[in-house]
Amino acid sequence: MTLDQLHSNLEAFKAKKLELDMSRGKPSEAQLDLSNQLLNTVTAEDYKTNADIDTRNYGGLDGIPEAKELFKHFLEVSSIDEVVVGGNASLTIMHDIISRAITHGVPGSLLPWGKQTVKFLCPSPGYDRHFSICEHFGIEMITVSTNEDGPDMDEIERLVSEDESIKGIWMVPKYNNPTGLSCSDGIVDRLSKMYTAAKDFRIFWDNAYAVHHLSEEHDEVKNILDTCKAEGHENRPFIFGSTSKITFAGAGVAAVGGSVENMDWYRGHLFFSSIGPDKINQVRHTRFFKSIEAVHVHMKKHAELLKPRFEKTLAILDEELGGTGLATWTTPKGGYFISFNVVKGTAKRVVALASEAGVKLTSAGATFPYKKDPNDSNIRLAPSCPTLEEIDMAMHIVCLAVKIAAKEKEQSAIVL
Amino acid sequence: MTLDQLHSNLEAFKAKKLELDMSRGKPSEAQLDLSNQLLNTVTAEDYKTNADIDTRNYGGLDGIPEAKELFKHFLEVSSIDEVVVGGNASLTIMHDIISRAITHGVPGSLLPWGKQTVKFLCPSPGYDRHFSICEHFGIEMITVSTNEDGPDMDEIERLVSEDESIKGIWMVPKYNNPTGLSCSDGIVDRLSKMYTAAKDFRIFWDNAYAVHHLSEEHDEVKNILDTCKAEGHENRPFIFGSTSKITFAGAGVAAVGGSVENMDWYRGHLFFSSIGPDKINQVRHTRFFKSIEAVHVHMKKHAELLKPRFEKTLAILDEELGGTGLATWTTPKGGYFISFNVVKGTAKRVVALASEAGVKLTSAGATFPYKKDPNDSNIRLAPSCPTLEEIDMAMHIVCLAVKIAAKEKEQSAIVL
């Protein structure tokens, strides 16, 4: 097809004045409906913990006992002393821990991070909110490339062994945002074992999609805390998780896990800022999920809603772009995203063209530090929220945009 | 009575092995019961805002519209743009704002507070959690004495006009913790008007007891934001409030108010740490309180429970210590505390003696910066939680301890 023909096809879509959105990893209404009964688990007559703690009053800085027990399993730590259960967002806990590291340092810090140059390794493409936190605090980000089985460990080992200002790395170990791929055991082993010049190096292990499988075929990721302990680096990982994409995105429960020393440090800091988390919402959750097994059963219902959306997205990519050489994409077994790489130098143009035709995508570049994709190639696709019909339409538009942008680039190269 | 006789009376109490607690400003179970129906306002079928916003999903960084409307009245600001509604604790917001001032500064700051010497004025006796935040962040605290109508303004005006490192003052304007007394209009006027050497000076206006009257006779405090605006200092106050002592201490809703510039600054910071507050709990609250008037009606029920406890405490102080010259105390019209001043140099001893006899009091010194009461004289009494019978017993023990400590001091002076 000529560029004119492609453009005329796009004009036809524009005329429909569509409003489609594949930009955000939001649960759909149908997914949220799966947890509505959670709202009925606590009533005016019945709001106490199993041990009869009155959840309405002050206290319980690190969570109610049964929430700590549930998150012990969820975060795969060994004891409830290795867990702090908080409010409604793991993002808040991540920001909080970095903020406290900036003002006070973490166990092992010789100085607060704010009193020294601090750099973080950012395997990319990655999660824009992680990168935003670093940018906000003036933490210098070093982009590290990502392979099928996780980040480039040769590069990481080289960097952390040489530069003591490298204090951390962001990791989404399972069903990564946006690649949807998971870390191999070898990557976990090397991250746990590697020598770091910084004595207070931390892995920010954002296990946001720990139980978010799309089918019976699960990715498994080796236990990071156990592996770090075995290597004598038990303070290395902070492990994050939440029920945001299990129950309610805005009213779930979030937690952090790690060594007792790390958690005691965090509890010590929380004293200054908290009178305890919302314990009643923790009771709602632990009644709705009496065990981690109940979480797994629940997640199958999410998968039933998500899997067809991923399949539809992938089917259209195959149909429209398979064999064209114009794009590559991942085929995740879980999570919320598909990572989509278009012709170098055209990602921004693709996102703009799609937007003109009424399809909102995540900004090109958002998946890289400082919002700058060096290849201008990566686009994050988020199929969770739109209906199958909307995905069908949106993805045809996206693929058309890819073809237009590629042909534009080709023609401008010829002209030059 | 001789010291021996007094001690023998104390021994009699000790033999009872009591466990009484007048240390904390916690609501009693009966007070918490007043809000139990709040737990039934949101159900699996009905969880949206008035404007049909799905509260289960992400979004709404500064609160749902009706929560902002309610807190607009509660914090006495002019528009919902002057409000940010957050999670379950105003302490968290206070800590958060200071933490962000340390790392980034507030509007008007030439440098982040963490890059310069920062001092705060601390009218005392005051709230220990305020002072702890300062100590935690290395903010130097300057104790300012408190009169019947508020802090010593001559001293405050002198200090802030001379020293640009003084960046803030803690104020509990109404029914102060622990004095129970309120600021006069003159104090509000002078705080609003005064020249401060620091261009980014802030009043941390913790209106924790805004509607917490004990009877129909209310203290009224002049509107701080309006007064600051009239003086051309609209960015001066951050106003804090919560429903912690209205609904549930651990699962209420907290908010901050101030100028649009201050609130925009805070919203901008929240982007990095939040995916939105727990909106469902905000719906619970705005359904339970359809207006600020409903809050006032509700607070009368609290007063019915609190007033007899305050009266009992004051009656025993009168009965045991009235006219003895051994102590003075405040007679608050609201709030949670009575400020109790014993013979200089004996407060620690009184608290220790009471503890030996099974009565837990707030640590002596806790109401001053660095936990050091220069006179070792002030004790905070918290009558909200114990029953009337428990207060009766506890206060007799406290008064006995006051007499013992005073006599011990007198005798040791004679010996010397």
Q: B183-241, pLDDT tens digit by residue?
A: 999 999 999 999 999 999 999 999 999 999 999 999 999 999 999 999 999 999 999 99
**Average pLDDT along chain B:** 97
Partners of B139 in the β-ladder? none
Mean predicted confidence (pLDDT) in A365-381: 98
d(CA B224, CA B192): 7
C-beta separation of B113 from B167 below 8 A: yes
| Model confidence at B384: pLDDT above 70 | yes
Mean predicted confidence (pLDDT) in A312-339: 98
| Model confidence at B141: pLDDT above 90 | yes
| Interface contact A45-B36, CB threshold 8 A | yes
Please, which pLDDT band fits residue B416 given cuts at 50, 70 and 90? low
pLDDT at A416: 61
Q: A63: distance to nearest CA of chain B, Å? A: 11
Decide if B53 touches A, using CB distance below 8 A. no
pLDDT tens digits for A157-167? 999 999 999 99
- Strand ranges of the sheet holding A166-171, from the earlier edge strand across to the other edge: A83-85, A254-257, A237-242, A202-206, A166-171, A119-124, A140-147, A150-151
Best B131, B273, B285, B385 residue to mutate vs chain A (most A CBs within 10 Å): B273
Decide if A267 touches B, using CB distance below 8 A. no
| Interface contact B250-A57, CB threshold 8 A | yes
DSSP string, B325-360: SSEEE---SBSS-EEEEESTT-HHHHHHHHHHTTEE
Decide if B87 touches A, using CB distance below 8 A. yes
Decide if A56 touches B, using CB distance below 8 A. yes
Q: B409: distance to nearest CA of chain A, Å? A: 36
Element holding B162 (H helix, E strand): helix B153-162
Decide if A55 touches B, using CB distance below 8 A. yes
| Interface contact B43-A45, CB threshold 8 A | no
Decide if B32 touches A, using CB distance below 8 A. yes
d(CA A345, CA A356): 19
pLDDT at B414: 79
Give the closest residue to B180 by CA, choosing from B15, B385, B64, B336: B336
C-beta separation of B83 from B255 below 8 A: yes
What letters, b where the CB count within 10 A reaches 16 and e where it falls short, cover B230-249? Answer: eeebbbbbbbbbbbbbbbbb
Among partner residues A36, A273, A281, which is closest to B91 by beta-carbon distance? A273
| CB atoms near residue A297 (< 10 Å) | 10
CA atoms within 13 A on the CB side of A268: 13
Mean predicted confidence (pLDDT) in A333-345: 98
Residues 6+ apart with CB under 8 A from A226: A76, A78
Residues 6+ apart with CB under 8 A from B281: A251, A278, A281, B88, B251, B253
List all residues of chain B from 334 to 393 with a beta carbon under 8 Å from chain A. Answer: none
| Model confidence at A338: pLDDT above 80 | yes
Residues 6+ apart with CB under 8 A from B258: B77, B82, B225, B235, B237, B238, B239, B266
pLDDT tens digits for A232-268? 999 999 999 999 999 999 999 999 999 999 999 999 9
| Model confidence at A17: pLDDT above 80 | yes
Best A26, A29, A39, A279 residue to mutate vs chain B (most B CBs within 10 Å): A39
Q: Sign of dihedral through CA atoms B50, B53, B54, B55?
A: negative
Structure tokens at B243: 């429903």
**Average pLDDT along chain A:** 97
CATH number of A45-294: 3.40.640.10
CA atoms within 13 A on the CB side of B93: 28
Q: Express the helix, strand and coil content of chain B in percent, nearest 5 each.
A: 45, 15, 40
d(CA A175, CA A337): 8
For residues A20, B58, A252, A261, the Cα torsion angle rounded to the nearest 10 degrees is: 110
C-beta separation of A242 from A89 below 8 A: yes
Peptide linkage before A308 cis (omega within 30 of 0): no
pLDDT at A413: 83
Overall size of chain A counted in residues: 416
Distance of CA B261 to the CA centre of its chain: 26
CATH 3.90.1150.10 positions along chain A are 3-25+296-415
- Searching chain B, which residue's CA lies closest to the CA of residue A137? B103
d(CA B140, CA B113): 12
CATH number of A3-25+296-415: 3.90.1150.10
Backbone angles phi, psi at A21, to 5 degrees: -140, 115
CATH 3.40.640.10 positions along chain A are 45-294
Mean predicted confidence (pLDDT) in B244-250: 98
Partners of A169 in the β-ladder? A121, A203
What letters, b where the CB count within 10 A reaches 16 and e where it falls short, cover B384-404? Answer: bbbeeebbbbbbbbbbbbbbb
In chain A, residues with a C-beta closer than 8 Å to the C-beta of B273 are: 91-92, 95-96, 99, 133
Q: A276: distance to nearest CA of chain B, Å? A: 7
Percent of chain A clearing pLDDT 70 (strictly above): 100
Decide if A275 touches B, using CB distance below 8 A. yes
| CB atoms near residue B131 (< 10 Å) | 23
Best A57, A135, A287 residue to mutate vs chain B (most B CBs within 10 Å): A57
Q: At what angle do helices B347-356 and B3-15 cross, to 10 degrees?
A: 40
Question: Rounded to two decimals, what is the model's pTM?
Answer: 0.97
In chain B, residues with a C-beta closer than 8 Å to the C-beta of A38 are: 44
CATH 3.40.640.10 positions along chain B are 44-291
CATH of the domain spanning B44-291, picked from 3.60.20.30, 3.40.640.10, 3.20.20.70, 3.80.10.10: 3.40.640.10
| Model confidence at A79: pLDDT above 90 | yes
Peptide linkage before A125 cis (omega within 30 of 0): yes
| Interface contact A277-B88, CB threshold 8 A | yes
pLDDT tens digits for B158-184? 999 999 999 999 999 999 999 999 999
Element holding B92 (H helix, E strand): helix B90-104
| Interface contact A281-B278, CB threshold 8 A | yes
CA atoms within 13 A on the CB side of B156: 29
pLDDT tens digits for A209-229? 999 999 999 999 999 999 999
Please, which pLDDT band fits residue A414 given cuts at 50, 70 and 90? confident
- Searching chain B, which residue's CA lies closest to the CA of residue A281? B251
Among partner residues A39, A57, A250, which is closest to B58 by beta-carbon distance? A250
DSSP-derived 3-state class of residue A60: coil
d(CA A168, CA A106): 11
d(CA B237, CA B113): 17
C-beta separation of A361 from A351 below 8 A: yes
| Interface contact A24-B58, CB threshold 8 A | yes
CA atoms within 13 A on the CB side of B152: 14
DSSP-derived 3-state class of residue A137: coil
C-beta separation of B96 from B272 below 8 A: no
| Interface contact B278-A59, CB threshold 8 A | no
In chain A, residues with a C-beta closer than 8 Å to the C-beta of B100 are: 99
| Interface contact B273-A95, CB threshold 8 A | yes
DSSP-derived 3-state class of residue B151: strand
Distance of CA B101 to the CA centre of its chain: 21
In chain B, residues with a C-beta closer than 8 Å to the C-beta of A248 are: 56-57, 280
Rounded to whole angstroms, what are the CA distances from A362 to A254, A338, A371, B327, B379? 25, 12, 11, 67, 58
Task: List, in sequence order, the alpha helices (H) in B182-289.
Answer: 185-193, 224-230, 260-270, 279-288
d(CA A126, CA A172): 8
List all residues of chain B from 93 to 132 with a beta carbon under 8 Å from chain A. Answer: 95-96, 99-100, 102-103, 114, 129, 132
